[in-house]
Each structure stands twice: as structure tokens, then as C-alpha cells.
Amino acid sequence: MIRKSAAATMLTAAAIAAAAAPAAAGPLDSLFGSSGSGSSDLLDTGSAALGSSGNKPQHFGKLGRPDAPNGVKSINVWVYAPKAQPISPGVYPRNSQLGVRWNSTIDSGPVIDGNECAMQIALSGPKIPAKAKLTKTADCTAVKSFSLRAPGSYAITVTDGISGASNSIKFDVQ
């Protein structure tokens, strides 16, 4: 009797956990989102789940100072391609709106969704207009896209000027 009860409890817990998972999250976002390979449209997929799972969250990129006033430990980044379909992994068509989406996380894992950051978004690649090379925002979690027309390799780095945390993504345009 006790075994059946324990098994039923475990199945119920698994069903509740599955129901609580974000419906729009891609199956690989929690594994690869922070390294720039994910493509989900959610801003905080992965990090929020890491913070609530009871496991020690993983932090990617250059870590922020432990005494930073905004508490940012790391920044997760993904390629943002709202309407473009990749030609192959990490390769997108020319003349597409492409960019970066990011979230900032604290040491325990939860996402900071506010304007207490000093983010700098640096775009590098072929034929970048001067005004697109560096963008600044106070948003700790956001997206930034660019109209990329020239083929080649691109990199986007997101850095929080308050904590010093940063992370980057790389992709190609054909």
C-alpha cells in the first residue's frame, strides 16, 4: 500500500511540473538558451526555471561583481530572429531583422526584469552603420534587433555597466 501511494505521489508531482512548464518554451532552450543557440520567443526561458528547480543555477559569460548594487550575476543571450527562419544552425538569410534577446539573472537564478541595469549592446560585423555599433538601455531583460543586409559573420555583446557581467552571441548571415 505504501509503495502504491509513493508512486502515485511521484506521478502527480511529475504531472504538476509538466503542466507548470511554459508552453512556448523550446525543448532545448533551457539547455542552450544561455549560449546563444536557442530560438524561443520568451525572454526569460531557462533562467527562471533554473532558479526555481532547487538546483544550483548555471551562469554563463563573464560574471558580474558579487557586490553589484543591481545584483546581476550573469546575462543569458539568444539570437533574436522574429520573422527569419535559419538556413542552418546559426546561419540566417540576408535582409532579415536579427539581433539579440537577453535576460539578467541574480546569483540564485531568478531573472531581473526591471530597469536597474546599464546595458550596452555592441554589434560587430560587415558594414555596420555607426549608430548601430553601440546601443544603450537600462532594461535588464529585453531585445534589440537590427536590419542586417550584408552577408558575413556577426557578433553581439551585451554588457551591464553596473555589475560588469557580459555575454555574447555569434551568427552568420548569407
pLDDT digits (tens, 9 = 90+) for 89-131: 999 999 999 999 999 999 999 999 999 999 999 999 998 988 8
| Predicted model pTM | 0.70
Tell which CATH architecture fits domain 26-173: Sandwich (2.60)
pLDDT greater than 90 at residue 36: no
Q: What would the mean pLDDT of 29-35 be, rounded to a whole number? A: 37
pLDDT greater than 70 at residue 54: no
Q: What would the mean pLDDT of 22-44 be, rounded to a whole number? A: 38
Range with lowest mean pLDDT among 2-6, 68-72, 149-153? 2-6
Measured distance CA(157)–CA(165) in Å, rounded: 11
* Residue with more model confidence, 107 or 5: 107
pLDDT greater than 60 at residue 153: yes
Contact 126, 150 (CB under 8 A): yes
Closest CA to 30 of 45, 52, 16: 45
Residue found under cell 533551457:
30
34 HSE (CA, 13 A, CB side): 22
* Residue with more model confidence, 157 or 27: 157
* Residue with more model confidence, 30 or 157: 157
pLDDT greater than 50 at residue 22: no
The residues spanned by each domain of the chain are 26-173
